[in-house]
Structure 1
């Protein structure tokens, strides 16, 4: 799509929705769409089987620690992603959501093979959860995993509840995810971290093509996130600019959301300011309207809107 046509569509969308630069929000009222939190209090919040305290790196990342990084950069709301240390026990995330009303939305983890998973999902949505993370872990047969009866229940229930499936996947899973989006067109999908393109090795053109192909599914979104781990893995991360541009052009800014992936973004010499600055300040092809959607509007629409319960 050329720049003139893309700009026209963005302007038209803003006019239709009455959201030129999304009024009602001040510049800087941003949303971080992907953060993990955990506590060193493993007595109250036990770790899942297979995890040890030594696995928690950093040892602690509480909301208060997060706020010290994000609030100076104008980030006021956050989407919490259930941390793997707790697996399907979402208690700490839910407690933090209750402790900070209006600040957090949540993406939970459930066991799709468990009996009553649909009711479990419904109960979590009533507590403010707006997405369910899926990731293959050590699964070798990705097709059998995504095509399982439990996964079918999870995708169908997410559609019924008007919440999202949030895949953490590698590029080789993109064709299978594309097929799932075909099978479940009413299910909202949010792909984490550009499907980790450029994490293990430079992104291949075919992998980029597979990610952009998902744009044909109207309810599919992409997180522009985890810049510390992708591409050159060095601030200011502007080597990721071409991919950001391709994703924006394919999906439109209304289906792209920025995120930090804290606390990992603020470890090993990386910092929060550089994470948000690549979208906010450093890519001159992003319009003010693009930034308003990517830094706030998309995540607000997807993760802070009402669900069906």
Structure 2
């Protein structure tokens, strides 16, 4: 990985100067800077020491300790770039979609609006990348991914604009469904995608930009982890189509259910079009 070239240089300089390693330094660091960089430094410290002390992964421990020290000095440290890691092709789509959403929130003042959540989301994303490259501890990969997605969802909620209190008569959400071809997620691969998108956009205009929830689903054919990512990609494709149609991004929430909660219950490994869907709730 490209990051280890940098680590090698830093390690050589540290040895020549008689300095402690980044892992040793971060144990007693005193973060400075704004709330976000302080929180991020703490997140990276915990991650680096976990990799060093519990997983005995000294290389990644040093690398993330260096990121933590940079954050502790008040520097802006970015989420990992995927091209610097040797990742399996099957994981790149989910990681790329996650990083895009994270960077959009960070660039939309997420670092100042909710610094703790933003720092946690970034560190958990980097954890997901690191574990996915190793690609041999499924439980660790899933834990980092789920913690990242949960933090991302909380960050989206925290950044949603506050609305004035008003007396509102509760209404039942209106629901639309888009169905997809087997193992596909682009809107062009859907059965009724553009037709439903047009209906949703018309409804949204009439209601004055209400909140929209997108929930992606997959059928039960294939591995559960893969189906979870596939369901998220389907929901993200619908989200982008709505944004392209003029719906503000902050009015849309996205979730994936994988092969859980099928519209039509089936046995495992059964492909069924009714279960390959994105549910669109307007409320």
The alignment's TM-score, normalised by the length of structure 1, stands at 0.21
- Rg comparison, structure with higher value: 2
Would you tell me which structure has more helix in proportion to its own residues? 2
- Structure ranking higher on relative contact order (CA contacts 8 Å, 6+ apart): 1
Would you tell me which structure has more strand in proportion to its own residues? 1
